[in-house]
Structure 1
Amino acid sequence: MGQTKTSFRWKLAGLMFFISFISYMDRVNLSVATPTIMQELGFTKMDMGFIQTAFFVGYAFMQIPGGIMSEFWGHRRVLAIAATWWSAFTVLTGACSNFTSFVLARSLFGIGEGPMAPAFGRFIYRWFNNNEKGRASSFMLSGVFFGPVVGPTLTILLMMNFGWRSVFIIFGGVGLLLAALWYYLAKDTPHDSKFTNAAEADYIEEGLMAGSDKKELAPWRAFLGSSQFWAIGIQYFITDYIMYVFLAWLPLYLIEAQNFSLQKMGIAASFPWAALCIVTATCGYISDKLVASGVSRHKSRTLFGILGLIICCITLYLGAVATVPWLNVLWLTISLGSLGFTFNASWAACLDIGGKFAGSITGWMNFWGNMGGIAAPVATAWVATNYGWQAAILTTAASAVIGIVAWLAVKPDRPLVLKENNNLEKIA
């Protein structure tokens, strides 16, 4: 009788969910506290836009290096150091008192969070069977998107009782504890873990490319000549751009454009993120089931990616022209929720085409996504300041068209690195 395999990989997936959750709480807390910080310190929308952008500059800068480091030094060490770094600067955000200190703290915070996504990409590649990667990715993404679900309400509760500075101190402390837990539990390979048995480790590594643990630099010159390499970056620029418009400005938009009170805003702002969290988790399960049943990765990834952006574009427009505040929230909820199709497809496709260089490919994709994060706060602030909130939402909706076109060039059935019979590698 064969050995019954353990399921420790899913416990690590749960830990990945909580780390992702805390990392996004650390981000969304600033946007929720924005009205209070603006009032207390006299900042303008443009000031807050630049402070938000400072994070994304540091974050985007570390995406590709984070992927390379994860492949050379392992996801265990890289993520533990990154989480310790970003948690320390989350705490220091609570001590900021002027524009310069905010910009410095948030840019260094972004540098710390930068390696997280590439390290998780490498972790998913090494710890999950080929038929589980969509679901595993959904744990990370659901954690990311669950932060803004509870973030507004929890942050406002803490702000009302202890002040806005307490929010950053508390969540930074939790992040430090999770960093230590990850380092203790998450070995670089399943065979190195005392919590997995041979049956689980062997199952995870079924179909794994030979030499996956060999430390080598990804063939970047060849990657840069691939159209799908550029396409997966461009579509993610648009997807993240839209998402970061919500992350950076939804609370203030609901207060200024829809006349919500601070308490009602906390509730209303959580609905779009709850929808995104639910759709992302559901899509991960469905996508893996489709692949396991023989449906091509093109259909289960690319078509999902395009579908999400189409729905997002239409419902953002409907939200922008809605005249009833809670109807506006409904359309915005459907709009952000629909991006769950695209986010899950993006990460699953990234692992499909990246193979053993999953860390580098996810770093590349997330680099472009966070170039969208750099653009979103300031661009949206400029449009809203000069032309109003409706124009800002309509501009965001129009950007989805670029992402839809880019998805047509993403071909998850064609990995960037193929293994030939003579054991040499080539770029697809």
Structure 2
Amino acid sequence: MRRSASQAVVGAPSGADDGLLLPRPPGVFRRFWARHPRFADVIVAVVAFLLSAPTAAIRSNYPVPPTPAQTIFAIVVVVLACLALLFRRSRPVLVFTVTALPLVILPPSLMPATHVVPALAIYAVAVYASVRACWIAFAAATGAMVLYTAVAGLAEPATWGYLVTSLISGAIALLIGALIGINVGNRRRYLEALIDRSRQLLVERDQQARLGAAAERTRIAREMHDIVSHNLTVIVALAEGATATADPARARAVTEQIAGTARGALTEMRAMLGVLRDPDLSPDAPLSPVDAASVADAVESAQRAGFPAVLHVEGRLDDVPAEVRFAVARIVQESLTNAMRHAPLATTIDVRLAVRADAVALDIVNDGVRAGTDAADPAAGAGFGLPGLRERVAHVGGTLTAGAVDGRRWAVRASLPLPARAPEGAEEEEPAS
């Protein structure tokens, strides 16, 4: 994507581009200060010195004039306070403490020289520390000035007017610096919070995309396994039967069954690929048509392959919601596939399906369990079939168990809940007029 000249990339702390594009800050000077913060600090310190040094050097209206030594000391203190402003971004509270000390250590005649630098320092406290720290600094500095004024006024009662005027001007300078700093600091923190939230949303979007892609891959793998594994198992069993028989007519019939099974698998594969390529379908749409898999077809395929599968159905499966009906068919299909692969010597494969008012119960039991199978570990020796079935059952809110029973049989049992249905013939009564 081509970036316009009015956009700036806000990167990570390391400076790397994290994909977050923000408008460039308005104003040439503002952008210049943002790119050169150290130069801006030097300019602030120089301006503070130019505004404070003349006040320290020029004689004030205070009845007791400062001595030359006091004037030189005041200029040195002002210079040190201005130099401290160079660190106002990293140590705002400490810098304010240093710049506020001249308020109480210089003679009263030089107090106006100490008003500008603390005002700039308290601005930095509000911007780079917090509003709470700014008000605490303001209260502490104002209290110190009040105490200093009271002590100086008691020592020289004739100077009360001058001292009170200096106190008010100093407090007003601090208040102006604090209010401007609070306004700028709040805006700065608000923008930083917005940018941080935008970065978080960007990261969460990427995480959700990765999780969605992983879930989609799992869903595709599950459907592919159900289609390919079952049909190939049936095809292998039929091919072995055709190879073992010496009757050409019977072998021809078996090969026709192999072709029919393969065509059915191809049909399901095409249907699934069609769903994957359709951009208008919902992401939660089933990858295979719900009518592509049925319990009767799965049992019939196992019977054609020569396995003793028997189906017992109680209730009407057609009345079950399509999503649950599809899950039932896949469970039966995968259970029969596992029986054909792992229990080729089974004499019975009993498939029992009961449709009740609140749930669909499934029991698929075969008597060809292998010796030594651990009944306490139902998934022992399993590949992707049983985990895929558990995911499918969990998707519809059901439960599934699989394992050896009595050391001679292998059972897969599932219970899939059904949504509550209103009783037949129940209608809402209209209120009497």
- Normalising TM by the smaller chain, what interval? under 0.3
For the pair shown, the structure with the greater C-alpha radius of gyration is 2
Structure 1 or 2: more strand by fraction: 2
Bigger helix fraction: 1
Q: With a CA cutoff of 8 Å and minimum separation of 6, indicate the structure with the bigger relative contact order.
A: 1
Q: TM-score, normalised by structure 2?
A: 0.22
